[in-house]
Amino acid sequence: MADLERALRFDCGVLGFEITQRDGAQAAFVSAGDYHHIGLNTWESRGGSPPPAGTTGLYHTAILYPTRRALAVALRSVLEAGIVLDGASDHGVSEALYLRDPDENGVELYWDRPKEQWPRTPTGELAMFTRRLDLNGLLKEIESVPDAPKVDAGPRDL
């Protein structure tokens, strides 16, 4: 990442992680629980630019939310921050939101359905798919929350 403070505003302010430890302006650990889950640093990248398209690097980071409601809260936070979604998909086994962090790294926010709800063929094989995720349907999980946003048709499928 190029800017630690900007990354912390995204990871903590938008995604809801908490800072568990800092090393000055160069590094921080953030958590969704009692220990650090993600280490952020600018040791080799302070002030750097995102890699150009078509080059090697990380495709995206995937962050698993424990429930559909928790994913809906994350969607609300992303929308309220004015972050544009790259996509939103229902994969049958999971529902996922795709976006970019401030350094243009791909981020997937998702929750897994319980295994007993996964789609199966008549012979019992897993039958994953990719369909457009109904974002308004997802936001209905938090409908009782004041000021829950509504979205138009939503982003394209991935």
Q: What is the DSSP string of 103-126?
A: T--EEEEEEEPPGGGS-B-TTS-B
| Angle value at C-alpha 27, between 22 and 30, nearest 5 degrees | 60
* Residue 52 φ/ψ, nearest 5 degrees: -65, 155
In a domain, 55, yes or no: no
**Number of domains the chain is built from:** 2
36 and 64 co-located in one domain: no
Give mean pLDDT, residues 72-88. 97
Task: Assess whether 76 and 25 both reside in one domain.
Answer: no
Is the Cβ–Cβ distance between 137 and 68 less than 8 Å? Answer: no
Q: Is 129 inside any structural domain?
A: yes
pLDDT digits (tens, 9 = 90+) for 106-146: 999 999 999 999 999 999 999 999 999 999 999 999 987 55
Distance between CA atoms of 56 and 153, rounded to whole angstroms? 33
Asked whether residue 86 falls in the same domain as residue 148, the answer is yes
Domain region containing 40: 1-46
Q: Give bridge partners of residue 29 from the DSSP assignment.
A: 21, 39
Q: Count of CB atoms within 10 A of residue 158's CB? A: 14
Please give the mean pLDDT across all residues of the chain.
89
Enumerate the β-bridge partners of residue 112: 94
Mean pLDDT calculated for residue range 53-73: 90
